[in-house]
Structure 1
Amino acid sequence: MLRIRAKSPELFDSLLPEELRKLPEELERVNELLDNPAIVEPFIKRFNVLMGRPCVPIETYVRLMYLKFRHQLGYETLVAEVSDSYAWRRFCGIGYNDRMPDSTTLIKLTHKYGEETIKELHNALIAGLKAKRLIRGRKIRMDTTVVEANVHYPTDASVLTDGLRRMYKQMGHIAKSGLRLGRSYKKVKKLLFSISQHLRKRSNASQDKVRKINKNIISIANAVISKVRDVIKNKKGISKHRKNIISNTASITQQVAAQSLERMDGIKPQYRIVSIHDPEARPIVKGKLDKPVQFGRIAAIVQDESGYITVAQAHQGNPAEVNMTQQLVNEHQDVCSCKVKAIAADTGFSSDENIQALARSGIKHIGIPARGKPMPEVRKKQKQTWFKKLRAFRAGIEGVISFLKRSFGFGRSMLRGNTGTSVWVSWAVITANLYRFGKNI
C-alpha cells in the first residue's frame, strides 16, 4: 500500500529544546522545495495501490535518497546515520520512537520505482524551481562524460572466472545437485594466477603459454556450463526463478567463452561483454592518459545559466555526441517550457545539419565550434564577442561534471544495467540541484 506523507510531529517533539527542533538551513530549504504535491505525483500515478502492507512514505523515501547521495552513503550506513541523528530523523519525517526502514527495503524500493518515475520526479523538481523563478532556461551548455560501471578491469580469463564463481555459488543453493564445481573453480583460479606470473616475463614463449592457459580455461568453462544445464534441465524441485538465474549466468558465461576464442583468433567482437554482473556495460575510449579505456556508459547533461541541471541522460556504449544535440535541446525546452536563445557545446556536438536545425528552431546564438578548419565566414563568426563569451561559458561545465563526480557519486554507478545507471544518474543530478537550492548558491 502506497503511503505519501510521513507522520506529523509527536507530543514528545514539543518537549525538546528549540535547537533540536530546528533543522539546519540547508535541510530547511530542501524540505521547503520537496514539500510540493507535484513531487509525489509520479509515484501516485504508477504505484497508488490500497492493498498490502504500508510501504515507506514517499516523502521519507525521497529525503532519505537525498541524504544518501548528498553524503555518498551506502544504504546500511544511511539507515544507521539517520537513526542516530535528531535533525535527519526530523527532516525525513521519522518519529523518534519509530523504527527506521531496513536498508534492504530502500534497495527494493529504488529498483521498484525505476527509471521513468525518477525522471518525472526530476522534471517536477525543475518545474518547482522554475515556478520560483530560479531557472530561466534561455542559455544552456551541454557535455557528456563516462559513468563507470562498478566492475574490475576485465580480461577474458578473469571474466570467465567470475562466471564460474557465480555458477558455483548459485548451484550451492540446489540440494544434492551431484555437481562438484568447487574443483573446477579452484583449478581456474590457479590458472588465472599462473597467467599473471607468465605475463611478468614478457617473452614470446610466455605469450604462447598464456594462450594455452586461456584455451584451457575456456574448455573448463564450456564443460561446466554443459553440466550445469543438464542439472537444471533434469533435476526436479528447482524453482523457476532459480532456473532462470542459473540459465542466464550460464548463457552470459558461454558468450564470454565464445568472444574469448574470437579475440584469440584476432577477431574483434561487436559487443564485448566486460562483466558477468553487468553485461550491458561497454568499453569506452575517451583518450585519457590515466584511463585509456573505461567501462560503463555515457551520461549527457544540460545546464542552464542559473547553474541547475535540467537534463540528464544515460546511454549505452559510446554514442556520438553529434547525434544527441537536437534531442538534448528539445528535452530541455520541454522540461523548462521555454525557448532556448543561446547554446554552448564542444566540437563533438557540431555538424552542419545540427547547426542548421538549431538555427531553424529559433536559437539566435549557437556557440558550437566547427570541425576541422573552418570556412572564412565561420571563422569570422567565431571571432565575434558573443561566440567568445559562449565558448568561455561552455568551459564551466567541465567543473560541473567534476563536482558531480566528487560530491555526488556521479562517476561510478552502484546500480547495475542500463536502467540502474539511468536511475543512479537521475538521483545524483536531483541531489545536486537540491544541494544548490539548499545552499542558496
Structure 2
Amino acid sequence: MSEIQPTFGFTEFDILKKYRKSFHESELGRLHSVFPFERIAKEAGLSEQRLGRRNIFSPCAKIALMVLKAYTGFSDRQLVEHINGNIHYQMFCGVMIDPSFPITNFKIISAIRNETASRLDIDALQEMLASHWKPYLENLHVCMTNATCYESYMRFPTDMKLLWESIVWLHRHICCHCSDLDIRRPRNKYADVSTAYLSYSKKRKRKASRTRMLKRRMLKLLEKLIMQRDGIDKEYGASLRYTQDYLKRLSVIRKVLVQGKELFEGGKVSGRIVSIDRHYVRPIVRGKEAKPVEFGAKVNNIQIDGISFIEHLSFKAFNEGIRLKDCIRLQQRLMKARVRCVAADSIYANNANRKFCTKYGISTSFVRKGRAAKDERLRKVLRSELSRERATRLEGSFGTQKQHYSLSRIKARKRGTEILWIFFGIHTANAVLMIDKIKKRKNKVA
C-alpha cells in the first residue's frame, strides 16, 4: 500500500491541503487574517454553550459568522446554505461540516446574533481593533468626523398605519384570549372600521376631513379594545399567560393611544413612536432633499486614515456639532497620538469648537472667521486639502458601507441586534481596506 499511495492523483489530504492554500490566497482568507477573532471572543465573553442540535460553533466562530454575514449580505437562511456547501466559508468560521449532516436550523444564526449583541461592548472592542490595526495606519494626527443615519428596514410611518396596526394586533389577541377561555367575544366596531380603512387606503387622494373622521373612529376603537382587554385580564387574568414581548407590545400600544389623542387635538409630542415593532426608533430630521426625515440609528463616526470608528450612536436625534471634542479625545485614546488636524462639516464649526482647536493648536477645515493670519495662504491650502479628503474618503465610506455591507436598510428586529449589525458592518468594511494597507506595508518592508 505504501508503494501504491504516492501514485494516487488526489488523496483526501491533498485536496484539503489545496483548499486551505486557496483559502489563504483568497480575499476571504486575507479578511480572516485581519481580525483578531480570539481576542474579540474573549473580550466579549462568549461561551461554549450549546446552540442548536450540535455545538459546532466556538466563540471565535460566532464572531466570524457575524463578520461573514456583513461581508456577504446574505440572509440567515442563505448564509446557512452557503456554509453547508462552501468549504471556504467553513474555514473562515473554523468549522468542518459533514455533508451527510448539514446544518438545517437557520435560526442558529439569530441565536448567535442575540447572544453576541447582549455582550457587545463597542468601546472595548474598538480599542482592541485600533491597537491591532495601528501599525499599518498613517497620518494618525488627522481626525475626520461626520454623522450619518443607518436606516432601519421599516415602512414609512403615518398615524393611520400605526393606529391600524395597533388595532389589528389587539383585536387578534382579544379573540385568542376569548377562544382559550371559551367565553363570548366582546362587541366592538372592528368590522366597520376595517371596511372603512380598506376603502380609505385604496384611494389615491384623501381629503383631510375624511382622514380626520376615520382617525377619530380608530382612536375610539383602540381605546375600547384596550378597555375590553383590561376587563378580560381583570376577570380571567389568573388563567392567562403573557410573554415578555406581549406585555412590552401592549405598553407600546397604550403609549400610541396617548400620543394619538394629543396629536389629534393639535398638541406636540416628544419621543414620538413610529413603529410598534421597533418602539425605540425615533424620527430623525436630516433636511436632505430626497429624504428629509430618516428612521434608524444616527451615528457620529471618526475616520483615521480611511478607517472608521463609532464615536456616538443613538436612535434619537442629536446635534453632532457639539461632539467634536469627544471625537478628538476618542482618536487620541485609540491611537495614543496627539491630533493636529481636524476635518469636519460646517455644523461642527461653532465658536466653542473653534476656541478648543485654537487653544490646543489644532488646524481645521472650517471657513476662517475674523482677520487673516500672516500665513493665511498656507492655511488656506491646508483647509482645502482637509475638506477635499473629508468629502471623498469619509463621505464615500458611508456609501460603501450602506451599499456593500448590509447597512442600507437594517433588518434586525431588536435594538441590541441592530447596534451589533451596524458595528460589524462598519468594521467589516474597515477590514477590507486593511487588507490593502497590510499588503502595502509588507511590500515596503520587503
TM-score, normalising length: structure 2: 0.83
Report sequence identity in percent: 18
C-alpha deviation, 1:421, in angstroms: 3.2
- The alpha-carbon distance between structure 1 residues 339 and 186, as it changes in their structure 2 partners (threshold 3 A), is farther
Rounded to whole Å, the distance in 1 between the matches of 2:97 and 2:56 is 18
2:363 to 355, 362, 365: 365
Q: Distance in 1 between matches of 2:282 and 2:82?
A: 35
| Partners of 2:90 and 2:97 within 8 A in 1 | yes
Q: Secondary structure at the match of 1:176?
A: helix
Cα distance, 1:377–1:113 mapped onto 2, change above 3 Å:
same
In structure 2, the residue corresponding to 1:324 is in which secondary structure?
A: helix
Runs of 4+ in structure 1 off by over 6 angstroms are 49-53
* Partner in structure 1 of residue 327 of structure 2: 328
Question: Contact conserved, 1:129 with 1:135, CA < 8 A, in 2?
Answer: no
Tell me which residue corresponds to 2:147: 144
> Which ranges of structure 1 fall in alignment gaps of 5 or more residues?
1-11
Structure 2 matches for 1:321-400, cutoff 5 A?
A: 321-360=320-359, 362-369=360-367, 374-377=369-372, 384-396=380-392, 397-400=394-397
**Whole-Å separation in 2 of the counterparts to 1:247 and 1:190:** 28
Q: 1:9 — aligned with what?
A: none
Q: Deviations over 1:295-350 (max 9, x none)?
A: 22311111112x11133532122211112211222222222222212110001112
Match of 1:191 in 2: 196
Alignment of 1:27-42 (within 5 A): 27-35=28-36, 37-42=38-43
Query: Partner letter of residue 114 of structure 1?
Result: A
TM-superposed CA distance for 1:393, in Å, is 1.4
Match of 1:213 in 2: 214
Are the aligned partners of 1:115 and 1:423 in contact in 2 as well (CA < 8 Å)? Answer: no
User: Which one-letter code corresponds to 2:164 in the other structure?
Assistant: T
Q: Deviations over 1:37-62 (max 9, x none)?
A: 42222123xx4578999573122112
Contact 2:57 2:95 (8 Å CA) reproduced = no
CA contact (8 A) 1:299 1:314 kept: yes
Q: What is the CA-CA distance between 1:173 and the residue it aligns to?
A: 6.0
Q: Is the 8 A contact 1:300 1:314 kept in 2?
A: yes
Alignment of 1:22-421 (within 5 A): 22-23=22-23, 24-35=25-36, 37-44=38-45, 47=46, 54=55, 56-97=57-98, 99-100=102-103, 102-114=105-117, 117=120, 119=122, 120-130=124-134, 132-134=135-137, 137-170=140-173, 174=177, 176-177=180-181, 178=183, 180=185, 187-197=192-202, 200=205, 206-235=207-236, 236-239=238-241, 241-242=242-243, 244-305=244-305, 307-360=306-359, 362-369=360-367, 374-377=369-372, 384-396=380-392, 397-421=394-418
- Structure 1 residue aligned with 2:444: none
More divergent stretch after superposition (428-437 vs 413-422): 413-422
Secondary structure at 1:82's aligned position in 2? helix
CA distance in 1, matches of 2:40, 2:257: 47
User: Retained in 2: the 8 A contact 1:170–1:246?
Assistant: no
Q: Match of 1:110, as an amino acid? A: R
The Cα of 1:189 is off from its aligned counterpart by 3.7
What is the Cα deviation at residue 403 of structure 1? 1.0
| Structure with bigger gyration radius | 2
Q: Which runs of 5+ in 2 are unaligned?
A: 1-10, 440-446
SS at match of 1:274: coil
- Using the size of structure 1 for normalisation, the TM-score is 0.84
User: Would the alpha carbon gap of residues 422 and 294 (structure 1) be closer, same or farther in structure 2, given more than 3 Å must change?
Assistant: same
By how many angstroms is 1:28 displaced?
1.8
In structure 2, the CA distance between the partners of 1:199 and 1:32, relative to structure 1 (3 Å rule), is closer
| Distance verdict in 2 for CA 1:421–1:356, change over 3 Å | farther
SS of 2:355's partner is helix
| Residue correspondences, number | 416
How far apart, in 2, do the equivalents of 1:123 and 1:308 lie? 13
3-state SS in 1 of match to 2:271: coil
Measure how far apart 1:182 and its partner are. 11
Q: How much does 1:256 deviate?
A: 1.6
| Equivalent pair of 1:149/1:295 in contact (CA under 8 Å) | yes
CA contact (8 A) 2:190 2:221 kept: no
Contact 2:252 2:276 in 1 (8 A): yes
Distance in structure 1 (CA, Å) of the matches to 2:138 and 2:302: 13
1:433 CA displacement: 1.3
Distance in 2 (alpha carbons) for counterparts of 1:66 and 1:51: 21
Query: Comparing 284-293 with 183-192, which one deviates more in the overlay?
Result: 183-192
- Structure 1 letter corresponding to 2:198: F
Distance 1:342 1:394 in 2: 12
In the alignment, the residues of structure 1 paired with residue 434 and residue 187 of structure 2 have an alpha-carbon distance, to the nearest angstrom, of: 54
